[in-house]
Structure 1
Amino acid sequence: MRDDSAQKPSADRPYEVGYCKPPIATRFGQRQPPKRRSGGTEQPLPDIAAILDHPIAVKVNGRNGRLHPHEAALHGLFGRVVKGEIRAIKQFLKECDRAGLLAAQTAAFDCVVHLPNDIPWELACYILQHAGLPPWDPLLVASYLAEYKADLERLERVEPGNKRSPDDHGR
């Protein structure tokens, strides 16, 4: 059996702190949290948007220069793309898509469009841009033609020397 009198301090014999004898207050992990010192005023949070808006010093192709942080990040990302990192390639494609670089381009081709003879050239081009290739709905053409004639009348009032008539096809 163990002698418990060696473990517990008595009134006539004080507890001695030493090797394998920690202080009683902290002996079983019951420790008070450390006292916090008041550091005065708190530091203001940095303005991240302002930091990211200023150019940073970089070295590109052996020359020192300044780049926008986003552009510098894209240079680094492209370097990883060239090395063949799959994750970098995916991220680069996302950035290109976000910038609109991957949008399908409309093919430029030469073609002949037969326009109705009773529509002025400028009006036919306008309808072509907004409604697509003919044949057009007669109500659509009539509404555009009425608006076109009203515009010509307004121009005649502003510029009296303009002798353009709605029947002149501009050809």
Structure 2
Amino acid sequence: MAKKSDKGSGYGKPPQHTRFEPGQSGNPRGRPKGSLNFTTDLKTVLLAPVAVNDGGRSRRVTTQKAALLRLREKALKGDVRALDRFLSLAMAMSVGSAEETATSLPPEDQAILEAYRRDVLADADATTASQRDEEDAT
């Protein structure tokens, strides 16, 4: 039988003597404050400047841009793998920009396109229905 003094314990309420004190962590050796995750480290590395020799002149660009310039250079020299990777990146960019363009239409233009799409689908449904009727008649 539970005592009246233990009334505050139960499911989701551990006994008072086992609870963490205010300010005490449940994971004292956990991830230190201020430590960076992989995404933050990657962004930092990609934005770090490096010196690149471009056309006989030295200039400083980000690591990301330097990697793209190197990939372009290899692709132009005939490296098939580099060319394939470079073209796939270019295709991904063109698909992304096409999607942005398609979704950035004004509401009036979107309404016109939606009405046209409904008309085309209705015509297609009517044509399919008439073809079925002709097949059923024969």
Q: TM-score, normalised by structure 1?
A: 0.34
From the two aligned structures, give the one with the greater helix fraction: 2
